[in-house]
Amino acid sequence: MLSVRLLGDLEIVVDGRAVDLSGIKAQTLILIAASGPAGITSSDLERAMEGVGRGAEKGTLHRRVTEVRKALNNQVSPYKDDQCYRLKSTSRVTVDSWEFSDGVALLAAGAPDPAEADRLMGLWRGNPLPRRYSPAWPVWRAVAEGHDRLVALLDGWERDRLAELTALRRYASLFPDDWKLQKLRGALSGKPQLLVVEDQVMDEIVLLLKDEFEIVQAASYRDFDALRESGALNTVRAALVDKHLESESDSYGTTKVATYLQRHTEIPVTLMSVDVEYSSNKQFEMCLKYRLSDVVRKHHNGGINSGIVDAVRAMVDDSPRGWSLRMRRWVESVAFTVQDESLMGQDNSNVMDCLAARDRVVALLERGPLEQAEDAVEGFRRRWDPSAGAARR
């Protein structure tokens, strides 16, 4: 009996015995197994191996397949007339990628079955091996199409049916760039809490946002202070605050609100203003000074600006891109503060170090692996702004 698990770290079991293949043999098996019962031609296998840096001439490639066959008790069919390598498709061979693809097809043909959907999502472990844009992508076609088909099915289910799923959150975490999965996970998690600090048009703003967000209202600084002291801000995902930053007559102290929230990177903030100048340097400096995600116009065509919704969505975007954009603005804001304070105190000793650190972190946020970017942001926080809250993702 041969069991091959591809949807995560490779696991091979032959007659109850775990088999540990070397990197190049493992890659050969992965490509053969992922190709499904139809198999993979020697030329396609050769090209796929080249794409993952494992190229070889045909004779060498055949020797590799022969070595894999021996390790798996001859469960890989030899190279024959149809010029394909494949796993022997018998009752003695199970491959989780085949099971996933076939299972999704059956699920699509029947009534919604949360238990079966959970089972299929549970086949995936750790980081998925398929990569849509990999040179080896064609051999993963059935798996990737199965994933897309499953997500499309779930997207059409009612919320009550989705609520029966237990594996969706974990499955969604394996595909952080799949926006449909993030939307489904958000539907199960309930509405994110949004702090709104506004004294004049609160009802209109609540009406605009209430379908997607649970609104925590503060119509005065006293309200905000009470929320802060009660711990209610601990569950707030983001804040939408009326501007009035330069007004001494501000009746609820928005400047104090912004000053408090800028110490908490886990609560991104967008300001609303009646006089947004999108291209002005002053507007950009305001974002840096108060560590804001954005500044948006409050009114449009005589009513509340619907663009506020997009600004709030961006603040609660769970995708790697959304997090990276927020962290980039925060890192740039910290560097701005360090530079500003050094100019005020005539002390430039730390500025160059801080700006260099900023550039390194920004580069990782734009192009680096997510794990390295997270570590870099946390290191930047500890070095340059240790009193700020941790950068929650």
* Residues 12-34: tens digit of each pLDDT: 888 888 888 877 888 888 888 88
User: Is residue 184 located within the same domain as residue 198?
Assistant: no
392 within some domain: no
pLDDT at 248 (0 to 100): 45
Q: Residues with Cβ < 8 Å from 327, sequence gap 6 or more? A: 265, 361, 365, 373, 377, 391
Tell me what pLDDT residue 344 has.
Answer: 60
pLDDT at position 128:
59
**Residue 337: inside a domain:** yes
Q: Yes or no: say if 268 and 227 are a contact pair by the CB < 8 Å rule.
A: no
Question: What would the two tokens of residue 70 be?
Answer: 């021996």
Residue 390 belongs to some domain of the structure: no
60 and 122 within one domain? no
Res 302: pLDDT: 76
Give yes or no: residues 164 and 122 share one domain: yes
Q: How confident is the model at residue 102 (pLDDT cuts 50, 70, 90)?
A: very high
Q: How many domains does the chain have?
A: 4
Alpha helices (runs of H) in the chain, residue ranges in sequence order: 23-34, 42-51, 58-71, 96-109, 114-121, 141-155, 159-162, 168-174, 179-189, 202-209, 221-230, 254-261, 281-290, 307-315, 320-345, 351-367, 370-384
Question: Which of 93-97, 257-261, 290-294, 363-367 holds the top average pLDDT?
Answer: 363-367
Quick check: is 11 in a domain? yes
The answer to which of 15-24, 172-181, 214-223 has the lowest mean pLDDT is 172-181
Q: Is residue 170 part of a domain?
A: yes
Q: pLDDT > 90: what percent of the chain?
A: 16
CATH code: domain of residue 240: 3.40.50.2300
Question: Domain range holding 74?
Answer: 2-93
* pLDDT at res. 107: 93
Q: Are residues 278 and 199 in the same domain?
A: yes
pLDDT of residue 118: 92
Whether the predicted pLDDT of 54 surpasses 60: no
Q: In this structure, what token pair is assigned to residue 310? A: 């997009």
Domain annotation covers residue 307 = yes
Write b or e for each residue in 172-195: b if 16 or more Cβ atoms lie within 10 A of its Cβ, otherwise e.
bebebebeebbebbbbeeebbbbb
**Rg of the Cα atoms in the chain:** 27
Domain end, chosen from 146, 174, 189, is at: 189
Among 1, 51, 49, CA closest to 25 = 49
Q: What is the DSSP letter of 125?
A: -
Mean pLDDT for 163-178 is: 79
Rounded CA separation 315/204 (Å):
20
**For residue 180, how far is the Cα from the chain centroid?**
12
Residue 254 inside a domain? The answer is yes
Same domain, 86 and 166: no
What is the overall mean pLDDT for the chain?
Answer: 79
In the predicted model, what is the mean pLDDT of residues 375-384?
A: 86
Per-residue pLDDT at 392: 43
Average pLDDT over residues 333-359: 80
Same domain, 46 and 111: no
Q: Is the pLDDT of residue 393 over 50?
A: no
Domain check: are 343 and 358 in the same one?
yes
For the ranges 87-101, 102-116, 174-188, 365-379, the lowest mean pLDDT is seen at 174-188
Residue 66 has pLDDT above 60, yes or no: yes
> Residue 18's beta-bridge partner residues?
13
Higher local confidence (pLDDT), 117 or 92: 117
- Would you say residue 390 has pLDDT above 50? no
Final residue before a domain boundary, out of 285, 300, 315? 315
* CA dihedral over 376, 268, 262, 244, signed as positive or negative: positive
If asked whether residues 63 and 100 sit together in one domain, one would say: no
Write down the pTM of the prediction: 0.52
Q: Following CA atoms 48, 49, 53, 56 in sequence, which dihedral angle do they give, to the nearest 10 degrees?
A: -130
Strands 269-273 and 238-242: parallel
Please tell me whether residues 71 and 110 are part of one structural domain: no
User: Considering 41, 58, 93, which residue would you say is the last residue of a domain?
Assistant: 93
Does 150 lie in the same domain as 88? no
Q: What is the pLDDT of residues 232-273, one digit of tens each?
A: 887 788 999 987 644 444 444 466 777 777 667 678 888 888
Residues 150 and 211 in one domain: no
Q: Residue 195: in which H helix or E strand, if any? A: strand 193-197
Other C-beta atoms closer than 10 Å to the C-beta of 117 total 25
Do residues 104 and 217 share a domain? no
Residue 389 is assigned to a structural domain of this protein: no
CA angle 149, 152, 153 (to 5 degrees): 85
